[in-house]
Chains A and B, each alone.
Chain A
Amino acid sequence: MDQENIIYMKDIVKAYKMGSNELVVLKEASLQVKQGEFVAILGPSGSGKSTLMNIIGCIDVANSGEYRLSGQNIDAKSEDELSAIRNKEIGFIFQKFNLLPKYTALHNVQMPLLLRGLDRKIAYEKAKDVLEKVGLGDRTEHKPLELSGGQQQRVSIARALVGDPNILLADEPTGALDSQTGKEIMDLFLKLNEQGNTIVIITHDEEIAKKAKRIIHVKDGHVYQ
């Protein structure tokens, strides 16, 4: 197996039981993502993109198939081991930001480090740096509802970056934003990729997908690399 592969997926199947029927959402999906890549996953709504992304992000598990993340066999991990992987290896960015509403921007960004058991001071310095990097150095004490959508998404990108993950996963990160803000967020992703971050981004917008360096198509549960 190629050493450079951060993501190695082979014949991943995900199905949901719907009463007596079974809804197969991913049909033997295979894909690889290498270190430093910027990949867009493109496909119509309901095609299985989020399902795929959640499995990549270790938030969900496949029914069958092989999945290796940075060389580790994910199928064999316990729940707490998966928690540690999500914390250290992966930075997840959601369409609806998914920030903790009671916490300030800074506290939200600190969380992955705090969960890791780091000291609050260290987490504070790191989080402040990253918030500055995404252009929110002056909004650290704001709570999510006191920020615009674009700003919230920047906080959530900062939260994904703060733990120095091997890969950034973004599920329609511009989906809840107006087109101008969406463009700014995409530019931020491009900049992050130039700085060496491996990024996988889901979109159903071809314009956005074109900015990525490689496009993976998902259609009706099949993945076409």
Chain B
Amino acid sequence: MRMIEIFRAVLINIKENKFKVFLTSLGIIVGALTIILVIGIGKGSQANVQDQFQRLNVGTLYIMPNFGGQTTETLGVEDIEAIKEEAPSVSNVTIMVSGNADVNYAKTSASVSIAGATEDFQNINNLVLAQGEFINNDHNEDRKRVAVIGAEIVTMLFEEEADSEIVGKDIIIKGKRYEVIGVLERLGGSMQGFNPDEGIIVPYDVAEKYIVGKKARTRVMALAKDIDHVSDAIDEITQILSKVHKGKSDDFRIRDAGSSLVAAQDSAKAMTLLLMSIATIVLIVGGIGIMNVLFVSVKERTKEIGILKAIGARKKDILLQFLLESIVISTSGGVIGILLSIMIMPLMKYTDIRVIPSFFGYGMGLVFSVATGTFFGYYPAMKAANLKPIDALNYE
């Protein structure tokens, strides 16, 4: 039989069983949708990693206390002074402390993360100011209560003010008055432990004294001279720490941004892989659904198969008819899945999950749908094709 006639037979059958076909394709629709979303989410999380690290120098080193040890040493200004003087491979070093505090302006009040930092914090993290200036060494020495605020904080506290009027305003942090001296440009991602977009930066000593207290978690950020000096810098810092802390350098942990980047990329990849396997499982379940429906369909249409064989249908004609039916159902399921994903993905911006639509995603959704239909349609189709004419004809 000509292909076009087999196709016509398939369409007649699908038209007669619209509801069943819809139920069958449901599994494929969900499967294709999942694949497309998964690929979109994978691309989204990779993009997140990239955004997070693009403003960061790969030569950045993080030094943190190792919590959980018996005697917990904290990092202090004396550490960065030592590193500044004695580590030739380090070009820049800063200390930071962070915590949460209530912030008020006019009638608005919110709990916000606060970082205490020094002048070099800006360079190391590539922070760019939209307005005003950053904290400098004088602010630190004089323990001036000044604040640099993130882009989100502006929208939160100063809804009604013009951007140009914000610098110079006073805000209340933990009951004390601070002058806003600068506003940061939106960074779009968060650095380790502190998101500048949603935070407020004050001088280190001020934060320690008035906001987070002496026992707060401090961390040191250092910048290696260049990427080739990262491991030298780590060695030097380790030595200095063991000198300053009298052999308790084990209480600290040094991480470099390069390996954090690799780790973050790896975890984004692992996430994608995990989601992919979920999508695969969904599709397999959908495929088994198709197979079941086709088995039932072969049984229901046994008589019809017998009639077709009695008037001269060959195995191939029957096989193709059922296989094509499965492929048509799964392909339309795939296409509906793609259309649904196009409608759903814009809605994802209301969640925290970032999805990036791509033709690769749509293509994969379709390819997997068609493959599922072909694979799971083959066995029932083969079963139909191998029926003996007399048995099929006498089936009631």
Residues of A within 8 A of B (CB): 54, 57, 59-60, 79-80, 83-84, 86-88, 92, 98-103, 111-112, 114-117, 119-120, 159, 163
Contact = CB atoms under 8 A, between A and B. Distances in A.
Contacts of B56: none
Contacts of B315: 79-80, 83
Contacts of A83: 309, 312-315
B389 A102 contact: no
A151 B311 CA distance: 19
7 contacts: A59-B310, A80-B315, A88-B312, A92-B310, A98-B303, A114-B1, A119-B2
A115 B307 contact: no
Name, among B1, B2, B309, B311, the residue most crowded by chain A CB atoms within 10 Å (CB to CB).
B311
Contacts of B304: 100-101
Contact of B2 (A103, A112, A114, A163): A114
A116 B2 CA distance: 8
Contacts of A103: 12
Interface in B259-317: 303-304, 306-317
A54 B392 CA distance: 13
Contact of A112 (B13, B16, B312): B312
B47 to A, nearest CB: 51
Interface in B299-338: 303-304, 306-317
Contacts of A163: 312
B16 A115 contact: no
Contacts of B307: 98-100
B393 A59 contact: yes
Given A59-B390, A120-B5, A159 B311 contact: yes
A95 B315 CA distance: 25
Contacts of B2: 114, 117, 119
Interface residues of B, number: 24
A12 B317 CA distance: 31
Nearest to B6: A114
Contact of B311 (A87, A119, A120): A87
Nearest to B304: A100
A102 B307 CA distance: 13
Given A100-B304, A102-B13, A112 B311 contact: yes
Interface in B1-51: 1-2, 4-5, 12-13, 16
A86 B1 CA distance: 14
Contacts of B309: 59, 83, 86
Contact of A115 (B4, B12, B311): B311
Contact of A98 (B1, B13, B310, B317): B310
Nearest to A80: B314
Interface string B124-153: 000000000000000000000000000000
Contacts of B308: 100, 111, 115
Contact of A84 (B16, B303, B312, B393): B312
Given A98-B393, A159-B311, 13 more contacts: A79-B314, A80-B316, A83-B309, A84-B314, A86-B309, A86-B389, A87-B311, A101-B304, A112-B311, A114-B1, A114-B2, A119-B2, A120-B5
A111 B311 contact: yes
Interface string B46-83: 00000000000000000000000000000000000000
A83 B386 CA distance: 13
A86 B310 contact: yes
Given A59-B310, A83-B312, A117 B1 contact: yes
A186 to B, nearest CB: 23
Contact of A87 (B13, B312, B390, B393): B312
Contacts of A92: 310-311
A124 to B, nearest CB: 12
A94 to B, nearest CB: 8
B5 A59 contact: no
A79 B317 CA distance: 13
Across the A-B interface, give the 10 residue pairs with the lowest CB-CB distance, nearest first: A87-B312, A60-B390, A115-B312, A83-B314, A80-B314, A114-B5, A59-B389, A98-B307, A112-B311, A86-B312
A165 B390 CA distance: 20
A159 B312 CA distance: 12
A54 B316 CA distance: 22
A112 B308 CA distance: 9
B270 to A, nearest CB: 50
Interface centre among A54, A88, A115, A163 (most CB of B within 10 A): A115
B306 to A, nearest CB: 8
Contacts of A54: 390
Contacts of B310: 57, 59, 86, 92, 98
A57 B393 CA distance: 13
B202 to A, nearest CB: 78
A153 to B, nearest CB: 15
A13 to B, nearest CB: 16
Contacts of B311: 86-87, 92, 111-112, 115, 159
